[in-house]
Chain A
Amino acid sequence: MINKPEFILLGHGSGGKLSHELIDSLFANYFDNPVLRQQSDSALLETESAHFAFTTDSFVVDPLFFPGGNIGTLAIAGTVNDLAVSGAVPQYLSAGFIIEEGLRYNDLKTIVETMADEARKAGVIIVTGDTKVVDKGKCDKLFINTSGVGKIAEKHTGIGSGRDIKPGDKIIINGSIGDHGMAVMAARNDLNIAADIRSDCAALNHLIKEALQVSNGIKFMRDATRGGLGTVLSEIVKEKHFGIQISEENLMINKSVRGMCELLGFDPLYVANEGKVVMVVDPDDAGKIMETLKENPFGKEASVIGEITEDHQGMAWLDTVVGGKRIIDMLSGQQLPRIC
């Protein structure tokens, strides 16, 4: 057994002895699986599928730990969700770590444990990875990149583009909005806010798989991460010959998230989520999709929030809580930096 270091040193990224110790004791240990065990420069994968989905995402959240998760939860769930909302079954992930010299070893260990745990829950394996250590001040504690591949059935290849969306389709979201962004904001010390808000970050691939099993009428999915629900809705209608009508009354926003948004002047529609999927579905199937979603813990608060309309093409409209109307536009500029 090697003595556990207290801090990550530049030597841990040198490619030499310290690097090997770190990889063996931490990454290979926690991410262990037959593909990773081959220890070759590339992971050799087998698949029977004709179509693949492939995605990548980098995670730079500040702070690394927040109520409801840490950067590791995001690194797995974020990439798994990007695959799942494309209609794919996530299978293999890579993990690249850029570590600032001086990061506490125990923090890194907790994050790696979380990643292993999330991956296990999502049913994916981490098959390749990389570690770099940079001088103090050259990055902020820890950045992670994960890429992922997953097989995708022929009949689901249209989900990513939403090519089959038409007026009358229903829009569903699997629960409350704004939790992740506000949880991270509250966790930042500079605001001095003590709020009881947990990030919603979670891998949604099982939830999505269950929905795809009961219906062939799911025409589009997207995870409403940075930019929030509002940005996803305006992306759906952008340059399209249909519009969207959303009912504000049907949006669920947790009380403390609402309170914090009021206080800081944020619109929950544009606050990030890390465990929310927006679905556009055939109206005939909306009922059974809702039933299926509600049986899963990550979908128990699912609701139909609006529909695709022939009116106001290319625009998303909101019926406000007081009976007025307004448009929903894409998030402009940067509402909250480094939330994922």
Chain B
Amino acid sequence: MKYIDEYRDKALVLALAGEIKKVSSRPVKLMEVCGGHTMSIQKFGIPYLLPDTIQLISGPGCPVCVTSNSFIDKAIAYSRRDDVIITTYGDLIRVPGSSSSLEREKANGADVRIVYSILDALEIAKHNRRKKIVFLGIGFETTAPSSAAGIIKAQMAGIRNFYVYSAHKVMPPAMEALIDEGVQINGYIGPGHVSTITGEGIYLDIPKKFGLGVVISGFEPVDLMQAILMLVKQFENNDPKVEIQYTRAVKPEGNIKAQQMLDEVFEPGDDWWRGLGILKNSGLKIRGEYADYDSEKNIAVEVEPLKEPKGCICGDILRGVKKPKECKLFARTCTPSNPVGSCMVSSEGTCQAYYLYNR
């Protein structure tokens, strides 16, 4: 299959593994920021191909995982209103909030619908004019532009019963916060899909300020092995910089049109990340001009008091300071079928990746 088989070529992967082994002389810790990378690394068994000098650490790049319980609680509160239909990407419905989940509310009669695109949510809005359609806006620079496009489209089409509940976030503040907090890493495997939108510009501060390299990587085994090799070379030569491995998708300047759309609808604001707390300008808030489409400004709900699950170390895992196996709940009380923390729920979550592929 084109664009897949050539990036899963065993001979090429093994050749890259040999090259990495040759180049790597000192222990190095590399963080894959993106949850998609974590999944791919575990799914293809990449750690078994790397020399002992290289340690891969998972980072905070799983949108569902870093989302706060209070966001889920508020979504649940919306879903309990008779006049609301919740539309969401699938992963989110199973995330436990303080005392319930959207999945449980759905079983209880709430109208919660899984969509693959915000455009499906707009269609639902068109066909249910008497209901308020709330789309749960989750994700980084990758999905935020489509939420922006949805809002712009709703405005153009005169759809007035459509709202976005935004927990959209941007990546760089989290990457910088980790280093500020003293998480020991030597380089970043940079997120591939985020970078298709943003380009390389958002990472340029990282080598300058912190002396760490960033290699923007694709998601297939050959991509990841090549990105690891590039980072190891940078580390060995003490030459940290931003490089793009994923050139077939990422342009240095990114997707300008998507950036403009993002800018048109959203503005930066402080936001809360699981494991990292409140990070300045790390969230995307809907601008005043589009306030009519902001669920928070239009639909009043009472939200239950916040409760975090006991014993869950998702926060430490998202900072990369602990591995899933160090959690007392992992694979015992916390499993993908009965998740306690968000890292076990999401198909990009570190705990789920380890549970499924590397227990």
Contacts and interface: CB of A to CB of B under 8 A. Distances in A.
Nearest to B335: A332
B42 interface: yes
Interface in A230-259: 249, 255, 258-259
Given A258-B1, A322-B8, A323-B13, A329 B355 contact: yes
A249 B8 CA distance: 11
Interface string A310-333: 000000001111111111010011
A320 B43 contact: yes
Contacts, number: 70
A191 interface: yes
Given A320-B221, A322-B13, A324-B47, 16 more contacts: A258-B4, A318-B45, A321-B10, A321-B44, A322-B10, A322-B14, A322-B49, A322-B222, A323-B14, A323-B17, A323-B49, A324-B45, A326-B43, A327-B356, A332-B337, A332-B356
Contacts of A324: 44-49, 221
B10 A327 contact: no
Contacts of B120: 190
A323 B18 CA distance: 13
Nearest to B90: A265
A320 B47 CA distance: 12
Interface in B25-40: none
Contacts of A325: 45, 48
Interface in A150-176: none
A326 B347 contact: no
Interface in B327-357: 335-337, 347, 355-357
A262 interface: yes
Interface residues of B, number: 30
B124 to A, nearest CB: 11
B255 interface: no
Contacts of A319: 45
A332 B17 CA distance: 32
B1 A333 contact: no
Given A320-B44, A324-B48, A329 B347 contact: no
Interface in B4-19: 4, 8-10, 13-14, 17
B358 A255 contact: no
A136 B116 CA distance: 29
The 3 closest A-B pairs by CB, nearest first: A324-B45, A332-B336, A326-B357
A82 B284 CA distance: 53
A326 B358 contact: yes
B153 interface: no
B10 A255 contact: no
A327 B44 contact: no
Interface of B: 1, 4, 8-10, 13-14, 17, 42-49, 94, 116, 120, 221-222, 335-337, 347, 355-359
Nearest to B47: A324
Interface in A244-301: 249, 255, 258-259, 262, 265, 267
Contacts of B10: 249, 321-323
B46 to A, nearest CB: 6
B208 to A, nearest CB: 35
A149 B13 CA distance: 51
A329 B356 contact: yes
Contacts of B42: 326
Contacts of B43: 267, 320, 326
Nearest to A258: B1
A269 to B, nearest CB: 10
Given A258-B1, A332-B336, A333-B336, A322 B359 contact: no
Contacts of A191: 116
25 contacts: A191-B116, A255-B1, A258-B4, A262-B4, A319-B45, A320-B221, A321-B10, A322-B8, A322-B14, A322-B45, A322-B46, A323-B13, A323-B17, A323-B48, A323-B49, A324-B47, A324-B48, A324-B221, A325-B45, A325-B48, A326-B357, A327-B359, A329-B356, A332-B335, A332-B356
A333 B4 contact: no
A326 B1 contact: no
A320 B8 CA distance: 10
B357 A327 contact: yes
Contacts of B4: 258, 262
A262 B7 CA distance: 14
B42 to A, nearest CB: 6
Contacts of A265: 347
A191 B119 CA distance: 12
A263 to B, nearest CB: 10
Contacts of B47: 324
A338 to B, nearest CB: 14
A324 B17 CA distance: 11
B94 A333 contact: yes
Most chain-A CB neighbours within 10 Å: which of B45, B47, B49, B336?
Answer: B45
Most chain-A CB neighbours within 10 Å: which of B42, B48, B356?
Answer: B356
Most chain-B CB neighbours within 10 Å: which of A190, A255, A333?
Answer: A333
Nearest to B17: A323
Most chain-A CB neighbours within 10 Å: which of B8, B10, B44?
Answer: B44
A258 B2 CA distance: 12
A239 B45 CA distance: 24
Contacts of B347: 265
A258 B345 CA distance: 24
A318 B44 CA distance: 9
